[in-house]
């Protein structure tokens, strides 16, 4: 059974308590968003998620999207839900007020995204991709294009996509063939085919604005010859209403493993009119603005799936009667005890809980950095925030989706045979969550980005934005006798990360394959240490709250227990990752291709 209730208390903990001393300071531009206002927004978002979107999750999965006469129809209830979502202002939550947005902090926006993803991941892609597209347009398009397109997209009247992949090339975008031919009126005619286009065609909005990568006639080869264009589904009239069709057609809907209610399309562009975004041949720079925004959001998708899977597993573990507790009967009036009494079920549930709380805490830290980069008036703070975002974006995308998928699989395991059949609803989380590890750059690509670009950038400056606060925290709390084992464990894992960083830097300069071989383990190690830092902070806050007396003793005791479980049962993975990195590439690269 799909069970979900927004974890509002933990969200408030992350926003209001955990990251108050993160080095980014108070941001004056966001002062109007008081705790009461933030809490009210989160509570309303929770209602939308649980009352409007959750009931459509399984039915949308069963029905899926359909293609009829070149038009994609979303499942029953989706159009009404989207209209309610749009009218409620949820499409515009974190967008710039200049374009009709509400300008809320990313810390609030990302928590809202999590709720939407938990309730209905397929639905989340429609407004989510539009928000990503607006960031690229806002950052690189001309003032005229911004003024024309952004208000409609921010409001949700029009949606947006990103059109990168072509049938013959995936991540290697330097091979793309879509052409853009300049016209006398400063527009361009685009011709080519794109695949795997999420929300590429649907019936939720009156127009769809595609951001398309293509080549100009004089483009150099490779990624240095790619430009970015706005290509609407319908050519807008001067008053902004949709005009004639713009030569964008749907060849097919992809038959996917999951996300059945999200229309993933093969699109053909046939002399479609488009307008250049940014400079010629500099399209990747603009598109990466959208992709990096989307990568953090995809990480939140992983967290959303992981939270929904956890809650469904907890419900089942409390309801399902099977076997007796090893320490004695716990349900004497029943034929068996609920399976939540069994240690291995507890192992799975606690693992899921710790993954979710760790990801939410780390995601909150990154969201604080996003707000600081955008709104802080202190140049040093803005730079530190930008460095931290650069370092943590691949970690958030890859680690959160890995752990979310692991949570979905654990939920199926808690349900046993009932989890493997569709009626339980939890197998949908496995199917839906799997794609998040692939799109917006596979998790292996994220790991390569981390070790190949983010570590050496600016002579290692990005690392200081993370290493310095962790080091300072360890030094400041070494003398705390109650938490000495926890602080020592963090220090040990942090030391392993520092040694691994040095190892990769040393070996990678001589042999790039050594860095590549270590990349995935290094990303995991970075994420484990970052979550350990957040858990250690959480534990100290909880201890102090309990010592001072609180009406929420149950919440803070659970925080302490979850933190202790993380340090006891999950952080030891850091040692495994360190040993794998230390082992190097030898056995990984030894076999000839023919021997596989």
DSSP per-residue codes, 290-331: HHHHHHHHHHHHHHHHHHHHHHHHHHHHHH-B-S--TTS-S-
Half-sphere exposure of 116 (CA within 13 A, CB side): 24
| Mean of pLDDT values over 160-182 | 84
Express each pLDDT in 387-408 by its tens digit: 999 999 999 999 999 999 999 9
The pLDDT of residue 173 is 66
CA distance linking residue 104 with residue 370, whole number of Å: 12
How many Cβ atoms sit within 10 Å of the Cβ of residue 171?
13
The pLDDT of residue 222 is 85
Residues constituting the chain: 596
pLDDT band at residue 508 using 50, 70 and 90 as cut-offs: confident
Six token digits for residue 483: 């938490």
Residues 6+ apart with CB under 8 A from 342: 323, 325, 326
> Comparing C-alpha atoms, which of 87, 98, 124 is closest to residue 109?
124
Residue 181 vs residues 189, 215, 270: alpha-carbon distances, Å: 5, 8, 12
Q: Sign of the CA dihedral 510, 514, 516, 521?
A: negative
pLDDT band at residue 169 using 50, 70 and 90 as cut-offs: confident
The pLDDT of residue 211 is 96
Contact call for residues 373 and 385 (beta carbons, < 8 A) = yes
CA distance linking residue 22 with residue 194, whole number of Å: 42
Contact call for residues 228 and 283 (beta carbons, < 8 A) = yes
Q: What are phi and psi of 194, to 5 degrees?
A: -130, 145
Six token digits for residue 481: 């006798």
How many Cβ atoms sit within 10 Å of the Cβ of residue 432?
30
CA distance linking residue 524 with residue 573, whole number of Å: 9
pLDDT at 134 over 70: yes
CA distance linking residue 146 with residue 283, whole number of Å: 17
Residue matched to tokens 């802080």: 376
Burial readout 136-157 (b: 16 or more C-beta within 10 A, e: otherwise): bbbebbeeeebebbbbbbbbbe
Parallel, antiparallel or unpaired: strands 207-214 and 158-163: parallel
Q: What are phi and psi of 213, to 5 degrees?
A: -85, 130
User: What is the residue-averaged pLDDT of the chain?
Assistant: 95
DSSP per-residue codes, 450-495: IIIIITTGGGGHHHHHHHHHHHHHHHHHTT-STTHHHHHHHHHHHH
pLDDT band at residue 233 using 50, 70 and 90 as cut-offs: very high
pLDDT band at residue 191 using 50, 70 and 90 as cut-offs: very high
Express each pLDDT in 526-556 by its tens digit: 999 999 999 999 999 999 999 999 999 999 9
CA distance linking residue 379 with residue 182, whole number of Å: 40
Catalytic residue among 427, 440, 491, 514: 440
How many Cβ atoms sit within 10 Å of the Cβ of residue 240?
15
The counts of H helices and E strands in the chain are 19, 11
The pLDDT of residue 292 is 78
Let me know if 440 is a catalytic residue.
Answer: yes
Contacts 24+ apart (CB under 8 A), 244-250: 246/272, 246/273, 247/271, 247/272, 247/273, 248/208, 248/210, 248/272, 249/70, 250/67, 250/70, 250/71, 250/72, 250/200, 250/201
CA distance linking residue 221 with residue 593, whole number of Å: 29
In terms of phi and psi (left: phi > 0; alpha: psi -120 to 50; beta: otherwise), the region of 584 is left
Burial readout 172-203 (b: 16 or more C-beta within 10 A, e: otherwise): ebeebebbbeeeeeebbbbbbbbbbbbbbbbe
pLDDT at 91 over 90: yes
Express each pLDDT in 340-363 by its tens digit: 999 999 999 999 999 999 999 999
Hey, which residues does 28 pair with through a beta bridge?
A: none
């Amino acid at each position: 059974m799909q069970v979900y209730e927004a974890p509002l208390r933990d969200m408030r903990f992350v926003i209001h308590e955990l990251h108050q001393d993160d080095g980014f300071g108070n941001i004056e531009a966001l002062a109007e968003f008081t705790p009461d206002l933030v809490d009210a927004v989160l509570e309303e978002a929770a209602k939308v998620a649980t009352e409007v979107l959750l009931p459509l999750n399984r039915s949308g999965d069963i029905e899926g999207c359909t293609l009829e006469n070149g038009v994609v129809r979303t499942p029953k209830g989706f159009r009404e839900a989207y209209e309610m979502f749009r009218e409620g202002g949820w499409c515009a939550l974190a967008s710039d007020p200049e374009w009709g947005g509400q300008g809320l902090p990313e810390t609030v926006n990302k928590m809202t995204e999590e709720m939407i993803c938990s309730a209905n991941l397929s639905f989340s892609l429609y407004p989510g991709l539009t928000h990503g597209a607006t960031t690229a347009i806002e950052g690189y398009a001309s003032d005229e294009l911004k003024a024309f397109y952004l208000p409609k997209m921010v409001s949700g009247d029009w949606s947006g996509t990103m059109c990168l992949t072509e049938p013959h090339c995936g991540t290697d975008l330097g091979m793309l063939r879509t052409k853009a031919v300049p016209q006398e009126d400063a527009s361009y005619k685009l011709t080519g085919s794109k695949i795997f286009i999420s929300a590429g065609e649907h019936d939720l909005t009156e127009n769809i604005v595609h951001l398309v990568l293509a080549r100009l006639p004089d483009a150099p080869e490779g990624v240095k010859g790619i430009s970015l264009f706005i290509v609407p589904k319908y050519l807008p009239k001067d008053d902004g209403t949709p005009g004639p069709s713009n030569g964008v057609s749907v060849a097919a809907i992809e038959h996917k493993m999951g996300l059945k209610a999200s229309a993933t399309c093969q699109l053909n562009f046939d002399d479609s009119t488009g307008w250049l975004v940014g400079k010629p041949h500099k399209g990747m720079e603009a598109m990466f603005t959208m992709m990096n925004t989307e990568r953090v959001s995809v990480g939140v998708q992983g967290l959303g799936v992981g939270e929904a899977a956890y809650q469904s597993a907890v419900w089942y573990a409390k309801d399902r009667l099977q076997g007796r507790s090893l320490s004695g009967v716990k349900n004497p009036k029943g034929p068996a005890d609920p399976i939540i009494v069994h240690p291995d079920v507890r192992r799975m549930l606690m693992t899921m809980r710790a993954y979710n709380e760790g990801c939410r805490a780390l995601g909150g830290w990154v969201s604080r950095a996003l707000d600081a980069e955008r709104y802080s008036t202190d140049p040093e703070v803005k730079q530190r925030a930008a460095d931290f975002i650069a370092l943590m974006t691949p970690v958030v995308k890859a680690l959160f989706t890995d752990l979310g998928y692991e949570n979905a699989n654990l939920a199926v395991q808690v349900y046993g045979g009932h989890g493997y059949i569709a009626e339980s609803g939890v197998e949908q989380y496995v199917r839906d969550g799997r794609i998040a590890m692939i799109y917006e750059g596979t998790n292996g690509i994220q790991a390569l980005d981390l070790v190949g670009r983010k570590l050496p950038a600016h002579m290692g400056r990005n690392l200081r934005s993370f290493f310095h606060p962790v080091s300072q925290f360890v030094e400041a709390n070494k003398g705390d006798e109650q938490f000495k084992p926890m602080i020592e464990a963090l220090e040990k894992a942090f030391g392993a990360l520092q040694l691994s960083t040095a190892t990769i830097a040393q070996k990678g300069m001589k042999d790039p394959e050594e860095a590549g071989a270590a990349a995935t383990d290094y990303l995991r190690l970075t994420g484990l240490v970052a979550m350990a830092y957040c858990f250690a902070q959480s534990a100290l806050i909880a201890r102090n709250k309990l010592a001072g007396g609180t009406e929420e003793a149950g919440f803070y005791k659970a925080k302490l227990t979850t933190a202790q479980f993380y340090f006891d049962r999950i952080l030891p993975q850091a040692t495994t990752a360190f040993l794998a990195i230390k082992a190097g590439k030898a056995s990984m690269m030894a076999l000839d291709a023919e021997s596989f």
